[in-house]
């Protein structure tokens, strides 16, 4: 295999959860550009329709499914249907997630559990659904979308940090348990990324914008474009001996103590 081919995803089927927009859409688009066939899910018809339209506008023939990633029977049914419609999943990207910004002492346990269920239990359910086929074929890639909160804490995100910290360890354990089947499980930990949701925070003069820039050696917010290369690397043969790692795409935040006053 030559150097160019090592990053090719031709003939591969990639399932990206919650990929109708944002980071998931960008990662799925990158995998498509590398040659993969894209399937994705979202939780309702409206999100799914918007996703299908967005892929069509980008020139990508993606197939979408309605599925709640916390519902194990529904996930098993979706994965089986994907197998019938396009073939077995070669690449799973666990992207679907939520965040709840509430001081811990004010947070209801049910709200804490909801974040854990979507951000941690769902990746377990998704991985469990695709692993048997990957084991049978002795090949597979699982990419978990982690976070800097897999390493750091911050005010108001106790549930999210707990879930993403757990996702880091689930990533390592999947690598440990299934590496012998030539299955690689790694994570991507995005830094602060420019999305429509973060647009108000990025206004010049906004305290949070100043805070992020001061903490980032790159002195800028990341873009969804910054995530494309890492995603293709971890989905391709280029990472066949990389297992159990989280690749932080954060402009250097985790390496940096911050600017001197």
Nearest C-alpha neighbor of 187 from the set 103, 253, 244: 244
> Is 160 considered catalytic here?
yes
CB 239 within 8 A of CB 184: yes
Nearest C-alpha neighbor of 18 from the set 69, 58, 57, 55: 69
Nearest C-alpha neighbor of 57 from the set 34, 31, 25, 82: 25
User: CA 31 → CA 52, 78, 84, distances in Å?
Assistant: 16, 20, 21
Query: Tokens 């999943």 — which residue?
Result: 89
- Integer Cα distance of 61 and 150 in angstroms: 33
From the candidates 21, 55, 65, 160, which is the catalytic residue?
Answer: 160
User: CA 261 → CA 3, 197, 212, 257, 258, distances in Å?
Assistant: 46, 30, 15, 12, 9
CB 164 within 8 A of CB 147: yes
Active-site residue list: 160
């Amino acid at each position: 295999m030559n150097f160019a081919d090592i990053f090719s995803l031709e003939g591969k089927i990639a399932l990206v959860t919650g990929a109708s927009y944002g980071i998931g859409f960008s990662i799925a688009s990158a995998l498509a550009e590398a040659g993969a066939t894209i399937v994705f899910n979202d939780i309702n018809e409206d999100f799914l329709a918007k996703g299908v339209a967005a892929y069509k506008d980008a020139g990508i023939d993606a197939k979408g499914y309605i599925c709640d990633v916390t519902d194990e029977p529904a996930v098993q049914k979706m994965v089986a249907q994907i197998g019938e419609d396009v073939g077995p999943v070669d690449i799973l990207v666990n992207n679907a997630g939520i965040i709840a910004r509430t001081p811990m002492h004010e947070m209801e346990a049910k709200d804490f559990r909801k974040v854990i269920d979507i951000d941690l239990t769902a990746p377990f359910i998704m991985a469990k659904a695709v692993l048997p086929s990957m084991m049978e074929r002795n090949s597979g890639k699982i990419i978990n979308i982690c976070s800097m909160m897999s390493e750091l804490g911050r005010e108001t995100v106790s549930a999210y940090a707990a879930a993403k910290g757990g996702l880091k360890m689930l990533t390592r354990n999947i690598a440990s348990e299934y590496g012998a089947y030539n299955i690689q499980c790694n994570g991507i930990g995005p830094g602060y990324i420019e999305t429509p949701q973060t647009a108000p925070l990025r206004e010049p003069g906004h305290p949070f914008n100043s805070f992020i820039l001061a903490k980032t050696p790159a002195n800028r917010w990341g873009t969804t474009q910054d995530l494309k290369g890492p995603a293709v690397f971890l989905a391709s043969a280029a990472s066949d001996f990389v297992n159990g790692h989280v690749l932080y795409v954060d402009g250097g935040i985790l390496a940096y103590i911050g600017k001197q006053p």
